[in-house]
Structure 1
Amino acid sequence: MRLHTKLMLGLSFLIMLMGGIFEFTYKNIMESNLKHEKGKNALAVAQSISNMPNIQEAFYTKDPASIIQPIAEKIRKQVGAEFIVIGNRNEIRYSHPNPNRIGHRMVGGDNEAAFKGKSAISESTGTLGPSLRGKAPIFYQGKVIGVVSVGYLQTDIAEEVSKVQKRIFMTTIGILLGGLLISLLISLHIKKAIFGLEPEEIAWMYQEKHAILESIHEGIIAVDTKGLITVVNETAHKILHVPNDILLRGKRIDDVLENTRLLDVVKTGQAEYDREFMILGEVYLANRIPIFDKRGVVIGAVASLRNKNDLSYLLQELSHVKAYAEGLRAQTHEYSNRLYTLLGLIQLGSYKEAIDFISKEVDVAQGIIHFLMKEIPDPILAGFILGKVSLASELKIDFSIDRDSSFIDVPAEISRDSLVTIIGNLINNAFDAVRENGKEEKKVALFLTDLGKELIIEVEDNGNGIAKDEAKRIFQEGYTTKNKNTNAGIGLCLVQKEIHALGGTITFSTNEGEGTVFTVAIPKNGGI
């Protein structure tokens, strides 16, 4: 059975139960009140009659009934009582609605209290049937000489209750019909609010949502329009350094994390992407997106937080791949040119020149490879530098490696990827610098040494140098003097981060119009 059907049936049953209880209770209250009211009226009439002098005096006449009967009947009709019976101490009737019963004994056996001088209300069965009676003693000269009994039949009371009960029943039916309509509307509203989903489906979706949120490596925080946290995943707890057992849901976002701008997004309804945000000394990239309901009204906002260092590592990996690709492409292009040259010499019959060309190229290539294998035995570093040699040849840049270089004693704990990032970005920057210098000679020199307690990396170029007003900002992320390179402004920032991570330092010296020298010192013991 579907949820909205259960709700409608449950609410309908509840309303019907309440209606039945209301009708039963109200009927009993009405019946009790009516009996009480009738009893009081009967007693009041009985007391009034017992105090009438002509009634009292009639008891001492030869025919009391002839005087008492007309008076009693007149009063009975006026007050609407079923009977008014007046009797003497022997319970002999002097009045009765049925004149034939005058002179007979009173029936019911409830005159004892009246003969003791007390007025009372009683229920008993007489000649006319079950009735509610008001009994009052008749005094004469301080003595009880008789009793007045004024009564209403129980059937008359039940008939009046029945009339009221019909009205109650109609009212109850109206309440039931209204309740059924309301229960239907409530069930339909709930069905619409939960998109027609069943409780089991909602529970499954909640678990699924929780699993998805926890599987995301980014921190997720959502708030409502009042700035109260509605969703926060485990990664966000770690970012905020808040244990998972501390409940953040329901707290104000400003009390947990300041300057999140989530409430600004709620107010403006405008999303913000890739905005830097500082949390506990670390830089995060934040995406802030408003949450809309089906009417297009903003009902909250959600932020995703990602550590900027994660993106930096990704950029490093991409830089390595790009560098390897450029090296391979340069080598392919360079050897293609040389093969074309060799092919031309052979076609011209210049076999001696072709042999000399081959010998020269072999000597140069073997010389560089032999040097790298001897002084830089690490295959990752050697292969990377060889790729840069080929790239420089393609770019017509005189790229030289100092023959006094030695990078043999490089500790295994120093990341080769970090060294590739440092050397590669410094060389790339040097290539870019000499290509823009406008000089005929474009020179870049690399020097590596592992002598002593530090690894020294030095890259020198004869570019235009660095202006004084730019020298303080060259390591800032995003800062660049290049206009065309969309990835500019990242290399030196990555270099500095990698060097600091290794416990090293980077310095540079420059002369405008003459060139720049970058020097890196990395301790072999990790800075310990």
Structure 2
Amino acid sequence: MRLHTKLMLGMFVLILLMGGIFNVTYQNIMESNLKHEIGIKALSVAQSVSNIPEIQEAFYTEHPTTIIQPIAEKIRQQVDAEFIVIGNRNEIRYSHPNPRRIGQKMVGGDNDRVFKGESIISESTGTLGPSLRGKAPIFSDGKVIGVVSVGYLQTNIEKNVSKIERKILIVTLLILIGGILAALLISLNIKRAIFGLEPKEIAWMYQEKHAILESIHEGIIAIDTKGKITVVNETAHKILNVPNSTMLRGKKIDEVIENTQLLEVVHTGQAEYDREFNIFGEAFLTNRIPILNNRGEIIGAVASLRNKSELYKLLQELSHVKSYAEGLRAQTHEYSNRLYTVLGLIQLGSNKEAIDFISKEVDVAQGFIQFLMREIPDPIIAGFILGKVSLASELKIDFKVDRESSFKDVPSDINRGQLITIIGNLINNAFEAVKDNDKNEKRVALFLTDLGKELIIEVEDNGKGIDSTNHERIFERGFTTKSSNNNSGIGLSLVEELIIELGGNVTFSSKVGVGTIFMVAIPKSGGI
């Protein structure tokens, strides 16, 4: 059975039950109140009649009925009572609605207490049938000389109760109809609010959402329009150094993180992407996005937090992969050209020239490879440089590795990936600088040395140089003098950040029209 149907049936049964209870309870209360009011009225009339002087004096006359009957009947009609019966101590009637019953003994057997001086309300059966009576004693000189009985028939009371019950029934039916309509509206609103989903589907979606949030490597924090946290995943707990057992939901975002600007996103509705944000001195990249409901109204905002150092590591790995790929492609292209040259010489019958060409190429390649293996024994760094040599050959750039270079004593705790990123970005920057060189020669030189307490890396090019007005901004993220490359402005900034992380420093000297030299010094003792 669907949730919508369950809600309808449940609320219908509840309203029906409440309506029934209301009907029965209210009827009983009204019947009890009505009897009580009629009893009080009867007693009040009886007490009033008992205090009439004419009636008291009539008891001492020869024919009391002639005085009492007219008075009693007049009052009975005024108060709409069924009967007003007045009798003496012997319960002989002096008045009755039926004159033929005057002089007869009173019926009901409930006068004992009255003759003792009490005023009472009783239910008894008389000559007219079951009735509710109010009885009061008639006093003379402090003695009880008679009794006044004012009564209302039960049948008439029940008729009045039936009228009230019909009204209550009508009201109950109206309540039931209104309740059913309200139940229908509530059920429809609930169905619309939960997008027609069933409880099992909602539970599954909640579990799925929780699993997704916890599987995301980024910290996720969401707030409502009042700035209270509504969602926070485990990664966010770790970023904030807050145990998972500590409940963050319901807390104000400013109490957990200062200056998040999430509330500004709620107020402005403008999303923010890739903004740098510091938490406890650590840099994070954050995206802040407003949360909209199906009517397009802002109901909150969500922020994702990603450690900046992790992005740098990823960027480094991508840079390495790209460099390796470029090196392999350049090597393939270069050796393809040389193979075509050998093939052409053989086809022309110039076997001696082909052998000499092959020997020369082998000597050069083997000599350079032996130099790299000897002076730069680390296979990752050596292989990377070899790839850059091949790329330079393809780009028609004269790329030289200084034969005085030596990179044997590189401490194992220095990250090779960081070194390759530094060297690679400096070489790529130099290649870009000489690529559009007006000079016939496009020269780039690399010098590496591990002598002393520092690792020294120098990259020199004969490009156009850097204008002195740009010297202070050269390491600024996003700054570039190149107009054609959308990815420019990141390499040198990344180089500086990695060098600072390793505890080193970078300097450069440049002269317009002559070229640029970048020099990096990294302590062997490790970073800061």
Q: Is the contact between residue 334 and residue 394 of structure 2 (CA under 8 Å) also seen in structure 1?
A: yes
Deviation at 1:283, TM superposition (A): 3.0
Distance 1:323 1:47, change over 3 A: closer
Structure 1: any 5+ residue segments left out of the alignment?
none
- What does residue 394 of structure 1 align with? 394
Q: CA deviation at 1:8?
A: 2.3
Q: Which residue of 2 aligns with 1:403?
A: 403
1:196 is matched by which residue type in structure 2? G
Contact 1:221/1:231, CA 8 A, preserved across alignment: yes
The 1:42–1:385 alpha-carbon spacing in structure 2 relative to 1, beyond 3 Å, is closer
Partner residue, 2:482:
482
What secondary structure does 1:444 align onto?
A: strand
Contact 1:94 1:102 in 2 (8 A): yes
Shift of residue 67 of structure 1? 4.2
Distance 1:342 1:143 in 2: 154
TM-score by length of 2: 0.92
User: Is 1:146 matched up with 2:163?
Assistant: no
1:467 positional shift: 2.5
Is contact 1:65–1:94 with CA below 8 Å preserved after alignment? yes
Preserved CA contact (<8 Å) 1:219 1:236: yes
Is this contact kept in 2: 1:138–1:148, CA < 8 A? yes
Question: Separation in 2 of the partners of 1:143 and 1:328?
Answer: 134
Q: What is the CA distance between 1:230 and its match in structure 2?
A: 1.9
User: Which residue of 1 is the match for residue 231 of structure 2?
Assistant: 231
CA distance in 1, matches of 2:59, 2:390: 148
User: In the alignment, what sits opposite 1:168?
Assistant: 168
Decide whether the 8 Å contact of 2:501 with 2:527 is kept in 1. no
Call closer, same or farther: CA 1:464–1:149 in 2, change over 3 Å: same
Q: Does 1:290 align with 2:290?
A: yes
Question: Match for residue 385 of structure 1?
Answer: 385
- Post-superposition Cα deviations, 1:121-145, rounded to whole Å, max 9, x if no partner, equal 3333323333222222233454432
1:168-202: per-residue Cα shift (whole Å, max 9, x none)? 11111111111111111111111111112222322
Aligned to 1:59: 59
Contact 1:398/1:444 (CA < 8 Å) preserved in 2? yes
In structure 2, relative to structure 1, the CA distance for the partners of 1:107 and 1:415 (3 Å cut) is same
Instruction: Look up the equivalent residue of 1:236 and give its one-letter code.
Output: A
Equivalent residue letter for 1:92: I
**CA separation in 1, counterparts of 2:399 and 2:37?**
120
Query: Which residue does the alignment assign to 2:522?
Result: 522
| CA pair 86-312 structure 1, distance change in 2 beyond 3 A | same
State the partner residue of 1:443.
443
Q: Which residue in the other structure is 1:105 paired with?
A: 105
Q: 1:341 to 1:75 in 2, by over 3 A?
A: closer
Supply the distance in 2 between the matched residues of 1:392 and 1:67 (Cα, whole angstroms): 142
Instruction: Say which SS state the counterpart of residue 94 (structure 2) adopts.
Output: coil
Q: Letter of the aligned partner of 2:459 in structure 1?
A: V
String of CA shifts for 1:57-106, please: whole Å, max 9, x gaps.
43334443344334433433333222222221112222223344333322
1:260 corresponds to: 260
Residue 455 of structure 2 aligns with which residue? 455
339-348 vs 202-211, greater mean Cα deviation = 339-348
CA distance in structure 1 between the partners assigned to 2:109 and 2:380 by the alignment: 124
d(CA) in 1 for partners of 2:45, 2:396: 133
| Counterpart residue number, 1:359 | 359
Deviates more, 1:186-195 or 1:421-430: 421-430
Could you say which residue in structure 2 is the equivalent of 1:312?
312
Aligned residues of 1:119 and 1:135 also touching (Cα < 8 A): yes
Aligned partners of 1:54, 1:448: CA distance in 2, in Å? 139
Which region of structure 1 is more displaced relative to structure 2, 20-29 or 85-94?
A: 20-29
Structure 2's unaligned 5+ residue stretches are: none
Deviation at 1:363, TM superposition (A): 1.7
Aligned residues: 528
Which stretch of the first structure deviates more once superposed, 319-328 or 354-363? 354-363
Distance (whole Å) between structure 1 residues aligned to residue 147 and residue 204 of structure 2: 81
User: Counterparts of 1:464 and 1:119 in 2: how far apart (Å)?
Assistant: 125
- SS of 1:472's equivalent in the other structure is helix
Match of 1:321 in 2: 321
| Aligned 8 A contact 2:225 2:300 in 1 | yes
- Could you report, residue by residue, the CA deviation over 1:361-404 in whole angstroms, capped at 9, with x for unpaired residues? 22211211121122222222222222222222222222222222
Gap change, CA 1:60 and 1:460, over 3 Å in 2? closer
Change (3 A) 1:9 1:348: closer
Structural mapping, 1:191-270, within 5 Å: 191-270=191-270
The CA distance in 1 between the partners of 2:382 and 2:48, in whole Å, is 130
Are positions 1:42 and 2:37 aligned together? Answer: no
Q: What is the alpha-carbon distance in structure 1 between the residues aligned to residue 50 and residue 126 of structure 2?
A: 21
Q: 1:100 to 1:405 in 2, by over 3 A?
A: same
2:271 corresponding residue in structure 1: 271
Q: How much does 1:213 deviate?
A: 0.7
Letter in 2 for 1:157: I
> Are the structure 2 counterparts of residues 510 and 87 from structure 1 closer, same or farther at C-alpha, using a change threshold of 3 Å?
same
2:56 and 2:259 map into 1 onto residues whose CA distance is 99
8 A contact 1:316–1:494 mirrored in 2: no
Whether 1:87 aligns to 2:84 is no
Instruction: Report Cα offsets for 1:397-426 as digits up to 9, x if no partner.
Output: 222222222222323332222222222222
Code of the aligned partner of 2:80: G
Displacement of 1:217 in angstroms is 0.9
